[in-house]
Amino acid sequence: MSETHYYGAVINPQERNPREPISYKVYPACLIIVSPVGQIVDMIAQSDIVDFQEKERERCDEAVTVILSSDEFLMPGFIDTHTHAPQFPNLGIGQEYQLLDWLKDVTYPMEANFADPDFAERTYRSVVRRIIDFGTTTCCYYGTVHLDATKRLVDIVRDSGQRAFIGKCNMDREVPEDNLEPSANDSIQATEQLIDYIQNLTQASDSLLIHPIITPRFAISCTPELLRGLSDLAEAYNPTLHIQTHISENLDEVARMGELFPGNTSYADVYDSFGLLGRKTILAHAVHLGDDEIDIIAKKEAGISHCPTSNFNLTSGVAPVGKYLDAGIKIGLGTDVSGGFNPSILNAIRHASIASKVISLQHNPSDPLKPGYNNRKLSVATLLYLATLGGAQVCGLEDDIGSFALGKSFDALMVKVSSEAGNPGLYPGGKEDVDKYLRGMLERFLFCGDDRNISRVYVQGKLIGGNDCIE
């Protein structure tokens, strides 16, 4: 086992500073030294090739050296804060529906197939491979209600080397018989078994890449008894256990939630009243939140997964991401397959941009814009941030991933923007100003790139996928 030295252009999102706009840095020549266990132990920016060779001589001779070409750069891996592994076979269908009918006619019938663990195994193998090759180094997965199928997903993700949160859906009401769990107690017990399975596995392999996550699908599909039991479970494993669920995606859904929880003041209040809203909670969608809900989510430090492709595709609405950023809420991106029709975070970035432009178009021009993000288009820096560091914060992993820094894990993408990558959508700009060239290449990659441009995908220093690995 030896160090690996990466030398070349690097793009690095910066931590949020409330006094300044979100930004990223570009290093045309940078040396990143990664330890044998995948941790960044040194990072020398603006290093020229002479310094690099000097540095090489100073360190152990056995280091593996990776020198990027002038058409390549390194950036942190993408973080998908919300997707459904069992819905991949439905990608590209169902766009004529809105949420509740889409669940009934498209989604639940597909998820019922995962009662068969062998069907799950076949499906999940290709799902995980595909997500990795699209550059997602950390993924928050929803499984189905089925324990055995979800264990197969855990095994496949572990074998792949991807970083992940994996949860089994909890549903004990308002879903068809073949997706319904027999009781709240059965649902809680199966969830506990999955948590123990993941924890035993990670302890045995000495790897902390996979985290269990409690997954009440949404308030509608869970009885109060189940929500209370899951909250107790989270408390029992405190502080390690995360929670993921949906919130306020669609207006009919919000209305149904109100009928089922007449004693609560809002959707966020339902989760809060059951103790499910906290620093480790990931709330998907958040399209139709009231101001009181924004306040409580900010106060409880829960994170939001912005899923713009799905929000457009199922005609759910447009989430006011700028408003949430101004409120100081942690926010990342989610592909939400198959409400979203594309498993790539690049696609979520594009739709997040369009969503912010829709919001800005709806703003009355006679009202002066206030400082901040609300009612404005999201910048390239903000889009990059949401896909990386923002997602890391939503997952509570910002000290370990989301950007390149000493002590963080090397979760990275090697992006190739030359014509060799075979993507005619990317046209190289002039290289007279290297800084400008790289910023232009990043923007082109975010808006026109695809998996052909992602030549290598690393998690904790280990090469786990990318176009270079496809035979």
- Interface ranges with Zn ion (CB under 5 A): 336
Name which of 80 and 336 has its Cβ closer to Zn ion.
336
Question: Residue 32 or residue 247: which is nearer to Zn ion going by CB?
Answer: 247
* Contact present, 84 and 310 (Cβ < 8 Å): no
Cα–Cα distance for residue pair 375/3, rounded to 1 Å:
46
By C-beta, is 73 or 78 nearer to Zn ion? 78
CB of 394 to Zn ion, least distance (A): 14
Give the nearer residue to Zn ion in terms of CB position, either 242 or 408: 242
Query: The tokens 């949420």 sit on which residue?
Result: 99
CB of 243 to Zn ion, least distance (A): 14
Relative to beta strand 64-67, strand 163-167 is unpaired
Q: Is the Cβ of residue 167 or residue 320 nearer to Zn ion in the bound state?
A: 167
CB-nearer residue toward Zn ion: 139 or 438: 139
Length of the chain: 471
Structure tokens at 166: 């994996």
- Minimum distance from residue 94 beta carbon to Zn ion (Å): 13
Q: How far is the CB of 315 from Zn ion (least distance, A)?
A: 15
State the residue number with the nearest CB to Zn ion: 336
Helix (H, G, I), strand (E, B) or coil at 208: coil
Distance of closest approach, residue 83 Cβ to Zn ion, in angstroms: 7
Here the tokens at position 49 are 């090739």
For Zn ion, which is the closer residue by CB, 66 or 331?
A: 331
Residues 6+ apart with CB under 8 A from 191: 167, 168, 170, 214, 215, 230, 233
Please name the residues in contact with 113: beta carbons below 8 A apart, sequence gap of 6 or more.
Answer: 86, 119
CA angle 210, 301, 194 (to 5 degrees): 25
CA angle (12, 16, 21) in 5-degree steps: 90
Distance CA 244, CA 165 (A): 9
Alpha-carbon span 391 to 59, nearest angstrom: 34
Map residue 464 onto helix, strand or coil. strand
Pairing mode, if any, of strands 163-167 and 136-142? parallel
Q: What distances in angstroms separate CA 204 from CA 137, 258, 352, 379, one per listed residue?
A: 22, 44, 39, 43
| Shortest distance, position 337 Cβ to Zn ion, whole Å | 8
Dist. CA 437–CA 442, nearest whole Å? 9
Q: Which is nearer to Zn ion, 99 or 417 (CB)?
A: 99
How many CB atoms are located within 10 Å of the residue 251 CB? 14
Residue 56, Cβ neighbours under 10 Å: how many?
16
| The residue to which tokens 């989270």 are assigned | 234
Under 8 Å CB-to-CB from 412, ≥6 apart: which residues? 6, 74, 75, 76, 77, 137, 404, 456, 457, 458
H-type alpha helices, 206-290: 224-236, 251-260, 267-273
β-pair type (4-13, 72-76): parallel
Task: Assess contact for 314 and 250: CB atoms under 8 A.
Answer: yes
In whole angstroms, the minimum distance from the beta carbon of 57 to Zn ion comes to 52
- For the CB of residue 88, give the shortest distance to Zn ion in the complex, in Å: 13
CB nearer to Zn ion: pick between 309 and 423: 309
Based on CB atoms, which residue is closest to Zn ion, 73 or 142?
142
Minimum distance, C-beta of residue 185 to Zn ion, in the bound complex (Å): 25
Least Å from the CB of residue 62 to Zn ion: 46
Nearer to Zn ion, 83 or 162 (CB): 83
Residue 84: CB minimum distance to Zn ion, A: 6
Q: Least Å distance between CB 368 and Zn ion?
A: 36
**Amino acid occupying residue 271:** Y
Q: Which is nearer to Zn ion, 336 or 400 (CB)?
A: 336
